Amino acid sequence: MSKEWRGEQKQPQKIDAVTDVEEQEEETLDLEEKLGEDEESWLSHWPLLTALLILAVMLTLEYGFKYQPPFPLNLIIFLIAFGLSGYNVLAMAWRKAKHFDFFNEFFLMSVATIGAFSIGSYSEGVAVMVFYSIGEWFQDAAVNRAKKSIKALLDIRPDSVTVMRNGQRAEVDPKTVQLDEIIQVKAGEKVALDGELYSDAASFNTAALTGESKPDTKRKGEKVLAGMINLDKVSEVQVKALFKDSKLSQILEMVQDATARKSQTQLFISRFAKIYTPIVFVLALLVCFSPYFFVDTYDFHQWFYRALVFLVISCPCALVVSIPLGYFGGIGLASRNGILFKGSNFLDVMTKINTVIMDKTGTLTKGVFKVQEVGTEGLSNDELVRMAAAIEANSTHPIAKAVVEYAGDKQKDLKAENVEEIAGHGLKGTVQGKTVLAGNAKLLTKFSINYPGEVDSLVDTVVLLAVDNRYAGYITIADEIKEDAKEAIERMHSLKLQTVMLSGDKQAVVDKVAKSLGIDKAYGDLLPDGKVEKVQGFKDAGSRIAFVGDGVNDAPVVALADAGIAMGGLGSDATIETADIVIQNDQPSKITTAIQVGKITSRVVWQNITIAMLVKVIVLVLGAGGVANLWEAVIADVGVALLAILNAVRIQRMKL
């Protein structure tokens, strides 16, 4: 590239398991040396622009007025232009040569241009360097443009926050705010930390986190996340997560890591370039010297010129820059639509998915449960609800929260003791000296407690209760299907994807939801290990699987799937941490959007590879045959690079 790294020190990046550490460090160094972070004005490129002006004047004199300054004046003028346009390239080539790295684009361009000067082709040597540097300038601009959508996330982190301390307002650094402190957010101001709304109600713009501009109204006690913008009056938020633990900080870390995790295509191109460049050097030497043994009228000057043409057109910069730029654009396009890819490799994975397996609660349904009916045996309704709420208060499961919310103040004087969670079954504890079980039918079966058979015919989710090893009644709870769930399934079917739903809920409920949405296969009554077994079964059958979930018990299957997708709004931290892709607004329709982004990115990347390789092979053959000259070689090289870059930049403009 035509400029050296002048940006801020980058934070360390995580290295993907498939990437060799030494290779990653070298690629990061090259990226820093080549690209730079800061956008620059035209004036900052005055040396290159001056060189271009000198070249234009000299070519006008030579071809327009048939005048060429006498030697050595013309050599001095062209050397000045050469130095102005190529000092960065020459310096980079020298730095790499000191480390015995000769097979790179900087050294390749340096050899080609200096070689052109050595045979008297001054104008062509300068032209190669000027147009190469202009091409790199455009590449820099394209990369900076691609970074905008991701760097915009950094701009939504407030530098200060108003915190209430000792009855006084104080402006402090968000990093210094502690848990449970109250922060004040003015109208139009960004929330700095995750917490719960302390005011009665407020409306927030969540677009920075979810990609959705629709205002979200929060009530007292509901979750508010850093990055949301307060649209209403001055509001207060009680902090529930430190600055480093906020959802926004997690998002930024995910995006940063994503740029370090290479796709298989990127890794292939990186390795290909390392093999390709030395081969090109050898072929250029053969083009120059091998004709000596076969051509009677061998002219070193002629064949050396052809070898220089060969070197110029062989420069792999179109591939090395445009392909990572394409993936970077894909990650940016996804982030603008509320989807976070944790690495460009997952963009490739999404193009191969043929089966989407989804959890039910919180993924296809809202996970907001309401008590529908209470049935008792031996207890009053109030007694049953109070006992159930006392023990369910020890769980964060949405069903447990629904029971506690329904009980309201009725259970405040009751406390459960010795509560233990039995995974996939429910809870066991002691309330007022009595042993209470609250969970599904499997829980009561596990403890050999009989219950009425008609309970199994209830369609809604059922919480069964037993007191001192005797069935005491049930509470039915219903969940609501998300508005775009049916559309999401229809879009999956339009893409010829098989749809599967797994749930720990009973089969009757699962079947009801599956039928209303048109899901191909649905399995209920599954414990966490049962979900793992089902997903493994689909993998063993040859399916390429994306699993979508939100709960803690979904983390193992998210990790097992080819692409693990987490619902990031309501999802548990464990699932979000394990997932490869995070949907920030919890919309099932974003699943197919993620697949679309992957396919768009893959299509553009392979278009670039095909165009670049085809043009290079054609001009390489023409150059070796003496048909193409240095002018045509540099125009072809810069042209194909710009074409590939513009094609990659298209991703940023696409609407899904």
Length of the chain, in residues: 656
Strands, E assignment, 362-425: 370-376, 416-422
C-alpha closest to that of 331 among 146, 578, 156: 146
Q: What CATH number should be reported for the domain holding residue 458? A: 3.40.1110.10
In this structure, the dihedral spanned by the alpha carbons of residues 455, 458, 461 and 467, taken in order and rounded to 10 degrees, is -20
> What pLDDT score does 370 carry?
83
Q: What CATH number should be reported for the domain holding residue 541? A: 3.40.50.1000
* Residues 496, 584 within the same domain: yes
Could you tell me if residue 535 is inside a domain? Answer: yes
**Long-range pairs for 406-411: beta carbons < 8 A, 24 or more residues apart:** 406/370, 406/371, 406/475, 410/382, 410/385, 410/386, 411/385, 411/386, 411/387
* Residues 428, 355 within the same domain: no
Interacting residues of 314 by C-beta distance below 8 A, sequence separation 6+: 108, 276, 277, 280, 283, 284, 616, 620
> What pLDDT score does 269 carry?
60
Residue 379, beta-bridge partner list: none
Let me know: does 184 contact 170? Beta carbons within 8 Å: no
Residue 216, beta-bridge partner list: 204
* Residues 421, 557 within the same domain: no
Indicate the residue among 424, 450, 478 that finishes a domain: 478
Let me know: does 239 contact 179? Beta carbons within 8 Å: yes
* Residues 563, 541 within the same domain: yes
Q: What CATH number should be reported for the domain holding residue 183? A: 2.70.150.10
> What confidence tens digit (pLDDT) does each residue in 15-51 have?
333 333 334 334 333 333 333 344 455 567 888 889 8
How is residue 505 annotated by DSSP? S
* Residues 565, 498 within the same domain: yes
Query: How many whole angstroms separate alpha carbon 548 and alpha carbon 205?
Result: 26
* Residues 459, 517 within the same domain: no
> What pLDDT score does 143 carry?
58
* Residues 383, 433 within the same domain: yes
* Residues 574, 497 within the same domain: yes
> What pLDDT score does 485 carry?
93
- Which residue out of 359, 460, 562, 637 is catalytically annotated? 359
Could you tell me if residue 424 is inside a domain? Answer: yes
Could you tell me if residue 343 is inside a domain? Answer: yes
Indicate the residue among 478, 505, 540 that finishes a domain: 478
> What pLDDT score does 270 carry?
60
Query: How many whole angstroms separate alpha carbon 656 and alpha carbon 640?
Result: 28
- Torsion sign, CA atoms 377, 382, 383, 385: positive
Interacting residues of 352 by C-beta distance below 8 A, sequence separation 6+: 544, 562
Range of the domain at 458: 370-478
Q: Across the beta sheet with 498-502, what order do the strands follow?
A: 339-341, 581-583, 563-567, 545-549, 355-359, 498-502, 521-523
> What confidence tens digit (pLDDT) does each residue in 95-140 have?
988 888 777 778 777 887 888 788 788 887 788 788 778 767 766 6
Indicate the residue among 568, 598, 628 that finishes a domain: 598
C-alpha closest to that of 249 among 343, 344, 156, 149: 156
Give the residue ranges of the chain where pLDDT is below 70: 1-43, 135, 138-157, 207-214, 247-273, 316-322, 411, 551-553, 568-578
* Residues 197, 212 within the same domain: yes
> What pLDDT score does 506 carry?
77
* Residues 544, 462 within the same domain: no
* Residues 521, 488 within the same domain: yes
550 catalytic? Reply is no
Could you tell me if residue 505 is inside a domain? Answer: yes
How is residue 568 annotated by DSSP? T
Say how many C-beta atoms besides its own lie within 10 A of residue 632's C-beta: 17
Structure-block tokens of residue 43: 């004036």
* Residues 456, 489 within the same domain: no
Could you tell me if residue 576 is inside a domain? Answer: yes
Could you tell me if residue 129 is inside a domain? Answer: no
Let me know: does 548 contact 365? Beta carbons within 8 Å: no
Could you tell me if residue 569 is inside a domain? Answer: yes
> What pLDDT score does 438 carry?
94
Could you tell me if residue 381 is inside a domain? Answer: yes
Total structural domains within the chain: 3
